[in-house]
Structure formats: structure tokens, C-alpha cells
Structure 1
Amino acid sequence: MPETSPETVPGTTALIAGGGALPAHLARAMEAAGIPFLIAQIEGFAMDEADRWPVETFALERLAVLFDLLHGRGVTRVVLAGTIRRPRLDPERIDPRTAQLLPRILPYLAQGDDGLLRAVIALFEDDGFAVVGADAVAPDLLPAPGVLTGVAPSKADEKDAARAAAIVEGLGAVDVGQGAVVAQGLCLAVETLPGTDAMLAFVAEAAAGCRPDPKGARGVVYKAPKPRQDRRVDLPAIGPATIEAAHRAGLAGIVLEAGGVMVLDRPETVARAEALGVFLWVREP
């Protein structure tokens, strides 16, 4: 189903929040734009700055109850944002109406993220909500192509980025991950379910000595969405912590697919990159 633009959807927006910084960024953006919204926090997760706004907490076992709440509050569109882990559902908490919905997502719990998220989107859409991406609420999250830092990638870095892009495309085709680290043409790590931080920590701790030439290219981390993923949810994102993790891993820079990776707290992210000598390149696919 095509994404609906913010201008064409009247009513209140529900921010379905997982953990981390992204939900708060979107809440601030909607607040600044005068967009009426409410926050529904998934039980067991904590978004940053949660005490700044009223928050409704809901259990996944009572999803139908959430739908009733959203309709009652005049919600017409939803944005799903923030980090979540695979839910462990408590059968005793599932209400009868939600029990009728769960068979549509249970088969996907043991599969990749993309199929599960598509099933969740379908549940919201079938109940009458328009599902939009985070970038529809805060377009500034997606930077224009180009190098965002004073430090630019070298020719060797560009080659490593191209190699990493091919690896991420291959991973995405089987719904595995959205990132890879390549140095001197060799893949040092790929992103799997634990995420980007775990991948970079592995490079810092276990793969630091894998570069053939200690004086050669230090390598890059490349981030991109999966080739066929629904870009309304689970777009990859980086922030200041990603810059610091890449620096600890000894990498020269971070490469993002243009139009497909969000940059949170961009001024601080770029400032940290400049301070640490890490380049930040938004690369055309």
C-alpha cells in the first residue's frame, strides 16, 4: 500500500513507540509543526524523554484494546518508531479480540524482521489507520547526498563502501541485516539481530587485527535499508553513539545509503564525527 503523506491525512497521529531516541525526535517534530499526536509506548520498552509528554502504555497481548483507544482519541494515522526486540507473549494476558489477530503475526515471529513488520502494518491498516514513515513526520531525518564532514573518504574508502553495499544488498535479500563493515576489501562483520552497536563492538574487540595491511585503509561501516523492505518502518538510523562506536572500532568513516538512513541529532552527530576524525558520507545507491 503506498505511503500516505502527512498533508492528506486529517486527525491525530499516534506514535507507536519502542525504545531509544527516535520516538522523542518525532514527538518534538510533530509538536513544532502543530500536528496533534499521542504517544502509545509498547510495554517493556522506554523511549527517551518519556516524561516530557503524556504517554499511554499498552501490552502487545491487548492490541485490540489499543486500536479501540486510538479510534476513540481520533487517531487516523500511526507512525511506528523505536527499537524493539522480539516479543514474548503471555497467553494469559491475551484478550479474545486480540486472540483473533495474533494468528496473522505469529508465523512471522521466528522469521526475519521484514515479514513481521509487514504483518504488523497490515493489522493497523485493516483497522482503518494510515501507516506513515518516520521521515513523513520529520523529513530532516534523511540527509541529502554528499559528505557531511570536513573529512572525506579516500579512494580506498570508496572501494570498501562499494563492497559493503553489495554485501548489505545480499544480506537484505534474505532479510538478515542492514549493515556491514569492510576494510581493505574484506568483510570484518555484518549486522544481524543484535544490531549495529553489537556489530561495531565485535569489530573493536575481535576483528581489529584482521586488516591485512596495518597501515592501509581502516575500513568503513555501511548502512542501508533492505532492498524490498517497507520503508515506513525499520529504516536504519545512526546518531552520536554510532560515531563513537565506529571510532572505537578503528574505522575511517560511516557510509549511508542516500534516502534510506536516518541521522538523529544531526548537528551533534556531525560534530562528534568532526571531533573524532570520522567521515560521514551519504552515498547515492
Structure 2
Amino acid sequence: MKTALITGRGGLPAALVAAMPARPLIASLDGFTPDGLTPDMGFRLERLVPFLRALHDQNITHVTFAGAAQRPRLDPALIDPATAELLPALMAAMAQGDDATLRAVIAIFEDEGFTIAGVADIAPALIPGPGFLAGSATDADTRDATRAASIVAALGTVDVGQGAVVQQGLCLGVEALPGTDAMLRAVAGIPATLRPDPAKGKGLFYKAPKPGQDRRIDLPTLGPDTIHLVAAAGLGGITWAAGGVICLDPAAMADLAAENGLFLWSRAP
């Protein structure tokens, strides 16, 4: 078995490489270089078929996707004839949303004979099971977590986002195209006069995969930076769906949460 790690931006690709027994071939989408890694090759979507052939030339059998990437703008002048045959179906999927796009990408790689390996397959320690990594939840937190989970599930059915902030039952923010960091910064900017009394519950940030999501790709990710943003937003902690969210550095996250008086709750469905 020989694995290629197809990367976008962020720290997840490096965390996966550190957890793998052997260094994979690292291929990054043009313009989306990962943190802390030097890719072995780059590729563009307009040249997807030549890239797939290059993976075969390297005797790659398994492929893992990791890292953040936005939909790239295509340059028609760069499209080769073989890739041109794939693009109409891929573009149609892109118009339907992220989930449809990812399913289309997976189908292309599987049709080429590659096995898709998810983070759970290669680095299960990065996906915590049920329990608390730090602190504990109050009854108010439990109610907010239940409310947030229902909101994220509803968002997921229309392919909008994977996160929400809830305080005392009120939804202060939902994750959309700008992402988690933008949402948490927006929550931090909400005037205190519009938020519930924190003495009765500070609220929480909740994260979970979308319903029906293929968990081999695009799992939600949390990391130490998330802790800082949640603290700045005046929340009481972070809750996520156990077994469905990647934690980049669980030990560092737990330490930071303790320093900031936050709880980290990997919540059973």
C-alpha cells in the first residue's frame, strides 16, 4: 500500500503525516499549500487527469484528503482534453454544494482505482470518542448542546455548514461559507445588550458532520486556535459530535481550555 495525501491549507495535513507510520506522497492543490509541509507535487483541477496518471506512475494505491480549500477558479486555457471530459459532471456537482462536489471527487478517484482512506483510518487518535477533554458541562450547557445539535443537523440537510453557537437556547451564529473563525469573531462582536446574562449560562460552540456526509473526507476540524476564538467570544466551551470531528492536537487543546476555564465535550449522539 502506498498513500498520497492530497492537501489544502492548514495544520491538519502535517498532523496526519506525523501520525502515519511512513511519510506519504504529498500533493497540494495549487494555491492551497499546507502549513509545515513541503509538497512533493502540486496540481490544478484543470489538469486533473494528468495528475491522476502521475499518481499511478508513483504506484499510489490509497488517497487521503486533508486541509481546507475553496473552489478554485478554472482557467479554460489550461484544460487538457481528457480532463475536459470530466469537468461537466464536476461543475454540475459544484453548483449543488460542497457535499455533492466531494462525492463527485471521490467518485473520480475511485473510478481510477484508488482507495479513499479517511482520517479515522490513518489517525484514529485525532477523532475523540465520547467524554470530556477538559472541564464539565452544566444543565444549561446540556440544553444548549441539544439545541445546537438540532440547528447544525438542519443546516447540514441544505449543505450550509457544520457549526453553530448557542447561548441559553438562542442561536448567536451559524457557520456558512466564511467558516468557523469568521463566525466566532462575529459572535465576539455581538453587543452584550443583545446577549443573554452570562451568569445564567455562557453558551457554547457546537460542531458536527453534516447528516449523510461521507466521513472519509471533509470532517469538521477543531484545533488550539479554536480555543482562543471561543474564549474571545465569551463562551463557556466547545461541544462536538463524538467520533465525527478531528481535533488537531487534543492535549494542547485540553491545556488551553483549562487555562481559559472552558470545557471540551465530545458528545455522544
Q: Would the TM-score normalized by the shorter structure come out above 0.5?
A: yes
Aligned to 1:23: 13
Whether 2:30 is the aligned partner of 1:43: answer: yes
1:271 aligns with one of 246, 251, 255: 255
CA–CA distance in 1 between the matches of 2:46 and 2:31? 12
Q: 1: distance between equivalents of 2:220 and 2:198?
A: 30
2:210 pairs with 1:201? no
Paired with 1:200 and 1:123, the residues of 2 have a C-alpha distance of 35
Show the 5 A alignment for 1:98-117: 98-117=83-102
Task: Give the 5 Å matches for 1:144-155.
Answer: 144-149=129-134, 151-155=135-139
Inter-partner Cα distance in structure 2 for 1:60 and 1:199 = 29
Question: Out of 238, 242, 263, which is 1:258 matched to?
Answer: 242
Q: Distance in 2 between matches of 1:132 and 1:209?
A: 47
Distance in 2, Cα, partners of 1:84 & 1:212: 35
* Cα distance between partner residues in 2 of 1:214 and 1:157: 12
Paired residue for 1:89? 74
Relative distance call for 1:170 and 1:257 in structure 2 (3 A) is: same
1:183 pairs with 146, 167, 172, which one?
A: 167
The amino acid across from 1:239 in the alignment is G
Paired AA for residue 151 in structure 2: I
CA distance in 1, matches of 2:97, 2:190: 26
Task: Name structure 1 gaps, 5 residues minimum.
Answer: 1-10
- Which amino acid letter does the alignment assign opposite residue 72 of structure 1? D
State the shift of 1:207 in Å: 5.7
SS of 2:216's equivalent in the other structure is coil
Amino acid at match of 1:188: L
Instruction: Quote the Cα distance in structure 1 between the aligned partners of 2:207 and 2:221.
Output: 8
* Contact 1:16-1:40 within 8 A present in 2 as well: yes
Per the TM alignment, residue 50 of structure 1 is displaced from its structure 2 partner at its CA by: 1.8
The alpha carbon displacement at 1:208 in A equals 4.7
Structure 2 unaligned runs (5+)? none
Q: Contact (CA 8 Å) 1:157, 1:219: kept in 2 or not?
A: yes
- The SS at the match of 1:105 is helix
TM-score by length of 2: 0.97
The amino acid of 1:83's aligned partner reads: A
Distance 1:146 1:74 in 2: 40
Q: CA deviation at 1:214?
A: 4.3
Give yes or no for contact 1:164–1:180 (8 Å, CA) kept in 2: yes
Identify the residue that residue 218 of structure 1 maps to in structure 2: 202
2:133–2:250: 8 Å Cα contact kept in structure 1? no
Equivalenced residues, count: 269
Where 1:70 maps in the other structure, the secondary structure is: helix
Q: Which amino acid aligns with 1:168?
A: V
In structure 1, C-alpha distance between the alignment counterparts of 2:194 and 2:142, rounded to whole Å: 19
CA distance in 1, matches of 2:196, 2:56: 59
1:70 to 46, 55, 69: 55
Aligned equivalents of 1:235, 1:80: Cα separation in 2: 10
User: In the alignment, residue 241 of structure 2 is paired with which amino acid?
Assistant: E
Instruction: Output the CA distance in 2 between the equivalents of 1:189 and 1:255.
Output: 15
Q: TM-score, normalising length from structure 1?
A: 0.92
* Amino acid paired to 2:29: I
In 1: Cα distance, 2:129 partner to 2:219 partner: 16
